[in-house]
Amino acid sequence: MRGKAVSKRKIQPEAKFNDPEIAKFINYIMERGKKTVAQQIVYGCFEIIKDATKQDPRHVFNKALKQVSPLLEIRGRRIGGANYQIPFQVRGERRFNLGSRWLITAARARKGKPMAEKLAMEIMDAARGEGAAMKKRAEVHRMAEANKAFAHFAR
């Protein structure tokens, strides 16, 4: 490894809910540096969730992220001239990153509604264990399960 390890930046909690995970999620949604637009999308999404479920939107959001975040993933590794797909456990920070990314991608793939509504629907679906993001997680877990025979290569 060259040079010294880069230290992790501490993300400031956002103003409305005072939650650093929501601040990070807002940053993932943001495009072209337009943070206020991303905040409007997330806060609008939380309002829709609050009206639809009559629960705290942070609770629904955390439940959805916990459901969507993968426990295992596969990584390619070259051993003796052959490439193997090796299942690895996913670290906590990467779990949040992948879960958020899958939620946002699935919400963007939905058609015909504003982004806040699409994101709210995807988060509520994920909290129930449904939706495109959950399908993506199941697919990743299925691949890891299928390649369990190569787990002894993980080191």
Q: Is the pLDDT of residue 125 over 90?
A: yes
pTM, two decimals, is 0.89
Q: Is the pLDDT of residue 113 over 80?
A: yes
pLDDT, tens digit, 9 for 90 and up, residues 54-65: 999 999 999 999
Mean pLDDT of the chain: 91
Task: Please provide the CATH number assigned to the domain covering 20-153.
Answer: 1.10.455.10
Q: In the structure encoding, which two tokens stand for residue 116, read together? A: 């806040």
Q: What is the dihedral of CA 74, 128, 63, 110, to 10 degrees?
A: 70
Q: How many C-alpha atoms does 115 have within 13 Å on its Cβ side?
A: 15
pLDDT band at 75 (very low <50, low <70, confident <90, very high): confident
**Considering the chain, what percentage of its residues have pLDDT values greater than 70?**
99
pLDDT band at 131 (very low <50, low <70, confident <90, very high): very high
Q: Is the pLDDT of residue 19 over 80?
A: yes
For the chain, the structural domain boundaries read 20-153
Average pLDDT over residues 22-47: 95
Q: Is the pLDDT of residue 120 over 80?
A: yes
**pLDDT score recorded for residue 153:** 78
**Higher-pLDDT residue of 115, 150:** 115
Average pLDDT over residues 45-60: 94
Beta bridge mates, 82: 79
- The Cα angle at residue 127 between residues 25 and 47, in degrees rounded to 5: 60
